[in-house]
Chain A
Amino acid sequence: MASVHPKPSRSLTRQVIASINTGSLGVAIGFAITAAALLNPFFITPFEVLLGRTLFLSMFLLLVFVASQRLPENRLPAWLPRWLFAVIAVGLAAPLGTLLIYIVAVGGRVSDVFGSSPRVTGFVITAGTALVLGLLITLTAQLREREARARSQALEFELERSRLEKLALDAQLDLLQAQIEPHFLFNTLANVQALVESNSPRAAGVLQSLIAYLRAAMPRLQEREPTLGAELTLVVAYLELMQMRMPDRLRFVIDVPTALHGQRFPAMALLTLVENAVRHGIDPSEVGGTIQVGARLAPEALHLWVHDDGVGMAEHAVPGMGLANLRARLAAFFEPAAQLQLQQAQPVEQRESQRGLHAEIIIPTASTP
């Protein structure tokens, strides 16, 4: 994967120059004037010269600071946090910059700087002041930058939250629109008609299932807290209707502990997966298969699954609105940590061609009070 390395888009120098703004320039000049005023009583050097030196020093420190902030992440050793790197850089730059000024002042010979004790005192005082003020400003600047970053992160988070809310709202709206496919309804009605005409005793039960399904699938506004138990009633009603239609091809097993029935659960979430299993797994298969609906409460998460051993999902199978919509509804109902995972079911030995689909909803326990 490492074959493609992004190259830095601009040179560091250009980036550093570009990121010096009037604000930081102002602080640096203020720093220089303050330092010059502070140092004036201790020096016989005229104030203008002193100010020139502190100005040079402050500009130098500013450049070092900005460079330390803009150095690309991959050139910084992993063990060294950026703030510490900036402190060390400025800490080293303060005496170095001062030394540079003194060397220039005495005409280029280092021995001349340290040969005279007043110069050494001057050097120490200047460097010390630069160090103290430089570090103070470095730390303050970093603190402010961190705050700004936190603010922008909070803003980004807020944006993401409102985006999710919009998605959830869209999903809810979609849910309110026609849920019942005419194809499903008319085919089911044709079967009910057949049962009624043949005076089958099964007709009453099947009608019951159809009513339960229609009532649940009808567009509706807020009603009492939806539960997993209610969802299972809907799933069973749907599966019974489908089994009436394809008795030789569809079998189903529901295995959800009764203790979980009271769990709050978004309406239609399991049904969407079961309908998907019928549409993409069982219905296209001549031999059909078994749909297993199950749930298990693990210490860290609630797992719910719909498993089929039908033909499985083709790579080009258009998933329909249902699945994408379900992801949004899960994220809205629980929290974004709730997941929907689809995987190929392990192939059954005798029927190598039928691989089936395993769809699992995982809800972290923290979001299921």
Chain B
Amino acid sequence: MNNVSTAVSTAVSTAVSTAVITAVSPAVSSAVSTSVGTALIADDEPLLRDRLAALLHKLWPELQVVAQARNGREAIELFDEHEPTIVFLDVHMPGLSGVEVARSIGSRARIVFVTAFEQYAVQAFEQGAVDYLVKPFDETRLAETVSRLRDRRAPTPPSNQELEPLLDALAARLRQPAAAPVHLQWIKASVGPSVRLIPVDEVIYLRSDEKYTLVVWQGGEALIRKTIRELADDLDPARFVQIHRSVIVALAQVAQVTRGANETAEVHLRGRPEVLPVSRSYVHLFRQM
């Protein structure tokens, strides 16, 4: 990284203070120096595609914008069709994200990521060796990128192996909230002719028989086909606990637990008459600390 940026500052006469480097493979680099550059713009917002195309035309008239893609899938298709030397990639696109498109392109072209304010993404970029533009960007900022792209003595580009960690970091950071495993958030249940989405936050308890599971939530009751076992694996264990072969209860809804016969127990709910059984193998959950 260090010797790379030294190479840049010596190569580019107008001293570039930022440590932003453009990725380019040797094969592509020689192509750029001999023939006219071609570019693909991928962004789901047409006004932004048009503006970027217009600005590029002004700053770099020889560059040909060969295609514009409206989403990630189109970007990959159009890239394979036109094989441009430069790809401007919006990070946030429907279907496939810019990060996934970059994975598919690899080091076959120079990639410039375009993103709106996204702190995590920007942090990732600053550690990686790929150029990026933050929306809304002005002409001067784009001119810097263009001058780096046009530089014939561009530094050795990152290989796929160097690109991967950056893309991994980006993908992880874009998927917020970071790191936390995503548990079931909605239970889809048929109520009359419609399929209701029940937020798991409102679920009080779940109780099953052989075929169906009864979901009792603050807004009513409904039967679903999922089994208690499937639900137990998918619900947030910090909020839901299985207390019986066929019963899961929301911890926040438990008013008190009383001891029963045969080392079993009973769960009493807040503001509700139902009493739920705790079977022997789950009683330890409520043992006093």
Q: Which residues of A contact B (CB under 8 A)?
A: 1-7, 9-10, 156, 160, 182-183, 185-187, 189-191, 193-195, 197-198, 244-249, 283-286, 313-319, 323-324, 339, 341-344, 357-358
Tell me which residues across on chain A come within 8 A of B210, comparing CB atoms.
3
Residue-wise, chain B 165-197 has the 8 Å CB interface mask toward A (1 for contact) of 000000000000100001111111001001111
Q: Are A246 and B185 in contact (CB under 8 A)?
A: no
Residue-wise, chain B 76-97 has the 8 Å CB interface mask toward A (1 for contact) of 0000000000000000101100
Q: Are B247 and A191 in contact (CB under 8 A)?
A: no
- Closest CB in chain A relative to B54 CB, distance in Å: 7
Closest to B201 in A: A324
B258 within 8 A of A: yes
Which of B8-16, B41-49, B150-158 is the interface stretch? B41-49
Total A-B pairs in contact (CB under 8 Å)?
Answer: 131
Partner of A286, one of B47, B95, B191: B95
Q: Are A313 and B271 in contact (CB under 8 A)?
A: no
- Known: A190-B48, A249-B44, A316-B182; 17 extra A-B contacts, CB below 8 A, are A3-B210, A7-B277, A186-B116, A187-B45, A190-B116, A190-B135, A190-B136, A191-B47, A194-B51, A195-B47, A244-B47, A247-B46, A314-B186, A316-B184, A342-B199, A343-B194, A343-B196
- Closest CB in chain A relative to B285 CB, distance in Å: 17
Q: Are A283 and B94 in contact (CB under 8 A)?
A: yes
Tell me which residues across on chain B come within 8 A of A10, comparing CB atoms.
261
B214 within 8 A of A: yes
- Closest CB in chain A relative to B246 CB, distance in Å: 6
Q: Are B185 and A316 in contact (CB under 8 A)?
A: yes
Closest to B118 in A: A183
Measured CA separation A115–B191 after assembly (Å): 71
Partner of A344, one of B137, B177, B183, B195: B195
Q: Are A316 and B194 in contact (CB under 8 A)?
A: no
Closest to A339 in B: B219
9 tightest Cβ-Cβ pairs between the two chains A and B: A190-B136, A194-B51, A344-B195, A342-B197, A9-B260, A190-B135, A194-B47, A186-B116, A186-B117
- Closest CB in chain B relative to A311 CB, distance in Å: 9
Known: A7-B260, A7-B264. A198 touches B94 (CB 8 A): no
- Closest CB in chain B relative to A298 CB, distance in Å: 17
Chain B interface SS verdict (over half): mixed
For chain B, the bracket of interface size reads: 35 or more
Q: Which residues of B contact A (CB under 8 A)?
A: 44-48, 50-51, 54, 70-71, 73, 92, 94-95, 116-118, 134-137, 177, 182-188, 191, 194-197, 199, 201, 207, 209-210, 214, 219, 244, 246-247, 258-261, 264-266, 271, 275-277
Tell me which residues across on chain A come within 8 A of B246, comparing CB atoms.
3-4
- Closest CB in chain A relative to B154 CB, distance in Å: 28
Partner of A187, one of B135, B219, B258, B260: B135
Q: Are A4 and B196 in contact (CB under 8 A)?
A: no
Q: Are B261 and A9 in contact (CB under 8 A)?
A: yes
Among A1, A10, A244, A324, residue most surrounded by chain B Cβ atoms (within 10 Å):
A1
Tell me which residues across on chain B come within 8 A of A244, comparing CB atoms.
47
Could you give 16 example pairs across A and B, Cβ below 8 Å? A3-B210, A4-B207, A9-B259, A9-B261, A9-B265, A186-B117, A187-B116, A190-B137, A193-B51, A198-B51, A198-B54, A249-B44, A319-B186, A323-B199, A343-B195, A344-B194
Tell me which residues across on chain B come within 8 A of A343, comparing CB atoms.
191, 194-197
